[in-house]
C-alpha cells in the first residue's frame, strides 16, 4: 500500500468515526430532549478518543486490515441468502 492510499484510509477512518459519533449524539440528545447531559458528552468524547486512537494505530501497523474492516458489510460477491440476514442484524 502506497502513501496516497494510506492517507485515503486515514481520511476515511476519521470521516466515518466523526459521522458515527454525530449520528449517535443526535440519537442520544434527541431522546433526552436536551444537550445538557454530561454523561452523553463524556461517552461521545471517549468514543472519539479511543476510536481514533485504535484506528490510527491500526492504520500505522496494518492499514490493509483497517481498509478491510471499513468496507461495507454488503458485498457484490456475497451470497444472496446472506444479505437478508445481515440486514436484519443491522436493522435490529
Of 75 and 58, more confident: 58
Mean pLDDT of the chain: 88
Give the gyration radius of the chain's Cα atoms.
Answer: 16
Q: How confident is the model at residue 45 (pLDDT cuts 50, 70, 90)?
A: very high
Number of independent structural domains in the chain: 1
**60, three cell numbers:** 500505522
48-74 pLDDT, tens digit each: 999 999 999 999 899 889 988 887 766
Global pTM value: 0.75
Q: How much is the pLDDT for 15?
A: 94
Return the axis-axis angle of helices 38-61 and 3-32, rounded to nearest 10°. 170
Domain hosting 35: range is: 3-91
Amino acid at each position: 500500500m502506497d502513501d496516497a492510499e494510506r492517507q485515503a484510509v486515514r481520511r476515511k477512518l476519521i470521516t466515518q468515526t466523526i459521522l458515527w459519533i454525530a449520528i449517535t449524539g443526535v440519537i442520544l440528545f434527541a431522546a433526552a430532549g436536551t444537550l445538557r447531559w454530561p454523561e452523553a458528552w463524556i461517552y461521545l468524547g471517549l468514543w472519539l478518543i479511543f476510536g481514533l486512537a485504535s484506528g490510527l494505530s491500526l492504520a500505522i501497523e496494518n492499514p490493509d486490515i483497517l481498509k478491510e474492516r471499513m468496507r461495507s458489510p454488503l458485498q457484490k460477491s456475497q451470497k444472496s441468502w446472506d444479505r437478508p440476514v445481515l440486514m436484519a442484524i443491522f436493522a435490529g
